[in-house]
Structure 1
């Protein structure tokens, strides 16, 4: 558990907000995707990223974004713990990825205490619009998360999960044929 309002975290959040604002403005007003801005912020930015405007992250320094991955409009990543987005991941508009865990004790919440757990979105995952990926979750390789789902537990590889909370409704059959 830590205080999210320390001077160091406040400075990191201000830096991330500034970079996100500059990045979003370049897209919205200049039609330019300036990945050098996000590269300076993220822990790792893979090759051939595609990150749409109105992107927001809390710190940025804990985000690893894979090769050929896509993050659509209005995505939010609260990255007090590591967030790993694998290769060839497709994330729809208005998805929230939140590493934060708030304490039950209202006194601690009032004092801005929280904890955080990492999120791992493995290669080939597709996440539908308005979905929420919660702290401590791994979404397994090639899985699909339905629109509006709230993922609170790990999703195995090659699964389709939907609902609130998200539940696996079927496995994906991987056909090795072209």
Structure 2
């Protein structure tokens, strides 16, 4: 029988108030509070890397980062995120190499049921998010559950990405749509 963590990470319905999950969220909140109050960015990012599932060389996230669990976040080499990054990682969030995020970017994997009885029962699910290599997400970009962005994608500031896109495109808007190709 699967644990609630295993069901959550697999995108299956799970109970969000499971003791193990609540404990991890509490530990992460406490650690992020301490990390976000540090003035030394190098120390901040070294401590952040220890909370993540894995991270490549040159992880740099400015202060104000928030996430649920950390162990479902996988970041490639040369990653930069500006202030107030939010990663809701009930399912895996995978970010490729050489990616750059503007301020106030949010990647959200949780999916809440449409059925009110399921919501009342606190049943949650999720869908993974994958960001390919060499992507740039402008400030205030929101990426919704289940989205995959290919390589070399640029997402314009303020965009809401509700579906997946392939390689070499610039997308903008709410919902985001392709406005041009690159390369």
TM-score normalised to structure 2 length: 0.89
* Alignment coverage as a number of residue pairs: 171
Q: Are 1:38 and 1:45, in contact at CA under 8 Å, matched by a contact in 2?
A: no
1:73-107 C-alpha deviation (Å, 9 max, x unpaired): 01100000000111110100001100011101112
User: Which range moved further: 13-22 or 152-161?
Assistant: 13-22
Is 2:96 the counterpart of 1:79?
no
CA contact (8 A) 2:49 2:59 kept: no
Unaligned runs of 5+ in 1: none
Match of 1:25 in 2: 37
Q: 1:90 is matched with which residue? A: 100
Q: Is the 8 A contact 2:149 2:167 kept in 1?
A: yes
CA displacement at 1:31 relative to structure 2: 5.4
Q: Distance in 1 between matches of 2:62 and 2:43?
A: 8
- Give the alignment's Cα RMSD to 1 decimal: 1.2
Partner of 1:6: 18
Which of 123, 126, 136 matches 2:133? 123
1:165 equivalent in alignment to 2:175: yes
The aligned counterpart of 1:65 is: 75
Residue 84 of structure 2 is aligned to residue 109 of structure 1: no
TM-score, normalised to structure 1, is 0.91
1:70 counterpart SS class: strand
